[in-house]
Amino acid sequence: MRPLGILSGTVIPRGGELFGNLREALIETEYGPAEVMRSDEVAFISRHGADPERYVLPHRINHRANMKALAELGVKEIVAINSAGSLHRKWKPGTIMIPEDFIFLAGIPSMFRDRYAHMTPRLDPGVRWRLLEAAQQSGVNAVDHGVYFQMPGPRLETRAEIRMIAQFADLVGMTLASEAVTAQEFGLAYGALCSVDNYGNGLAEEPLTVEQIVAHARENARVMIAVATRYLENYGRRTP
């Protein structure tokens, strides 16, 4: 069977103990190296790096190398696990959302350099549906819509920025759009499971801190792991 691609960050820093007996591999690509933990069933990438002492900041993630490595390993389908901030008080920390669209107004590095390659970006509807199914089977009440707004990072957003983007989106983060577009360029079906780990700057009374975001992400990790594990089980049953 083709392995399922799983991408995660602070929610699940390493997948070797969670998604089977994975072995570490360094895949060299034309865009640079990619660290992958792999088996016959799973190809797992920690987008911020496998070593917590060498954290890769969002704006320095090599999305092209990661997606190229997954494609070379035979991956056709990707489940991305993302930590996000809420843009509305109704989406409290602890909310799980499976977004249907995204916004990113900055540039995304492309694999295309010298040929016509326009495409219409999207989150794969099949992967979205299967994520919703896995969440339901896991007893997780996931929000089945939503728009993710990507900011460049690594800094957090100002209060004015949060007020502006809240008019158009529900979540804010620093990675999903770049991953989704790059995955699509490599022919990979990409869907995202988002953990709301904090309110956007200005929505809560206390100022936002990175420590709070990480703490909430760890609290939500159990739920995200349950959904991703069920997705993998379902994937194994339908993939020859």
Q: Which residues are within 8 A (CB) of 121 and not within 5 positions of it... i.e. 6 or more apart?
A: 102, 177, 180, 181, 184
Q: Which three-class secondary structure state does DSSP give residue 157?
A: coil
Q: What is the CATH number of domain 4-238?
A: 3.40.50.1580
* 25 in Cβ contact with 69 (< 8 Å): no
Overall average pLDDT of the 206-217 stretch:
70
Q: What is the pLDDT of residues 64-107, one digit of tens each?
A: 999 999 999 999 999 999 999 999 999 988 899 999 999 998 76
Residue extents of the structural domains in the chain: 4-238
**Mean pLDDT for the stretch of residues 26-38:** 94
pLDDT-derived band at 170, boundaries 50, 70, 90: very high
Instruction: Write down the pLDDT at residue 17.
Output: 60
Predicted local confidence at residue 1, as pLDDT = 76
Does 144 score more than 80 pLDDT? Answer: yes
Residue 227: per-residue pLDDT:
95
Average pLDDT over residues 153-158: 88
Which three-class secondary structure state does DSSP give residue 162?
Answer: helix
Mean pLDDT across the chain, nearest whole number? Answer: 88
Q: 185, 73 in Cβ contact below 8 A?
A: no
- In the predicted model, what is the mean pLDDT of residues 146-170? 94
What average pLDDT does this structure show over 200-213? 76
Checking if the pLDDT of 182 tops 70, the result is: yes
Q: What is the pLDDT of residue 214?
A: 72
Give percent of the chain above pLDDT 70: 89
